[in-house]
């Protein structure tokens, strides 16, 4: 079945440091890939997405590129802020038609803490 | 626009009790789902629905029941609570389609003692 593997966490950085959170996936078809973010005490919200190979998703200074050859979707940001402290989830949906739309498979989540 | 609304936010149950977690969305989304979030395990799909009257099991359905009588509502029932069901539960909804964004409720933190 489908699976998503994220880098082990938690990650602790100083403000303005560079961030990379690794994500690799296993899927039988042509998945869409997502990064969701969960701020303390809140539900998840979409950070960015990519729906086909070589697409780059970007939002709020975060970027991730859909790499089919390495089955990866690593999250990057050049300069993190204290307000970026949250839990980040990589996820995929297997878009093969029928009832697979919307079913998300999540990685285990990476806790990011940014210190001033 | 309320989005996805879950109630209650917190709940403590005794082993063997039953309860219903409520979920409502006002975006006319066809797809609704329930996940549980446990430390180090990400979110795991419990049940989902692609429209009123249609439900199906996800990865971890045992001990839970769902129904979808309207587009807006998708309640999750715990039939006989067990300590293993202590978790944070999230309801989500989305349109059907390639790469659609899922909208999540704020979660219900459930403790079974």
* Whether B100 and A101 lie within 8 Å, measured CB to CB: yes
Do the chains contact at A106 and B105, CB–CB below 8 Å?
A: no
Question: A60, A12, A15: which is closest to A35 by C-alpha?
Answer: A60
In tens, the pLDDT along B25-44 reads: 999 999 999 999 998 888 99
From first to last of its 116 residues, what are the pLDDT tens digits of chain A?
889 999 878 999 999 999 999 999 999 878 999 999 999 888 999 999 999 899 999 999 999 999 999 999 999 999 999 999 999 999 999 875 555 567 899 999 999 999 99
Distances (CA, A) of B69 to B50, B94, B95: 12, 17, 18
Find the closest chain A residue to B41 by CA distance. A108
| Closest-CA distance of chain B to residue A1, Å | 11
Q: List, as one string, the DSSP characters of chain A.
A: --EEEE--S-EEEETT--EEE-EEEE-SS-EEEEEEEE-TTS-EEEEEEE-STT-EEEETTEEEE-BTTTTB--EEESS--GGG-EEEEEEEEE-SSGGGTT-EEE---EEEEEE-
The pLDDT assigned to B102 comes to 93
Which stretches of chain A sit within 8 Å of chain B by CB? 4, 32, 34, 36, 41-46, 49-51, 89, 93, 95, 99, 101-109
Residues in chain A with CB shorter than 8 Å from the CB of B42 are: 4, 89, 106-109
């Amino acid at each position: 079945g489908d699976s998503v593997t994220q880098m082990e966490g938690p990650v602790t950085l100083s403000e303005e440091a560079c961030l990379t959170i690794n994500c690799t996936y296993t899927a039988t078809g042509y998945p869409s890939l997502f990064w969701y973010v969960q701020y303390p005490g809140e539900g998840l919200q979409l950070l960015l997405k990519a729906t086909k190979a070589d697409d780059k998703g970007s939002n709020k200074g975060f970027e991730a590129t859909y790499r089919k050859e390495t089955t990866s979707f690593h999250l990057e940001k050049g300069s993190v802020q204290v307000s970026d402290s949250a839990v980040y989830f990589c996820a995929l949906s297997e878009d093969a038609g029928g009832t697979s739309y919307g079913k998300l498979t999540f990685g285990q989540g990476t806790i990011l803490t940014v210190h001033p | 626009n309320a989005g996805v609304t879950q109630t209650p936010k917190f709940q403590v149950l005794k082993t063997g009790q039953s309860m219903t977690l409520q979920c409502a969305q006002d975006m006319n989304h066809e797809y609704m789902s329930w996940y549980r979030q446990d430390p180090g395990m990400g979110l795991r799909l419990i049940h989902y629905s692609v429209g009123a009257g249609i439900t199906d099991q996800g990865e971890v359905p045992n001990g839970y029941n769902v129904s979808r009588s309207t587009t807006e509502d998708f309640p999750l029932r715990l039939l006989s609570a067990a300590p293993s069901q202590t978790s944070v539960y999230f309801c989500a909804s989305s349109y059907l389609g390639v790469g659609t964004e899922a909208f999540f409720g704020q979660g219900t933190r459930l403790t079974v003692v």
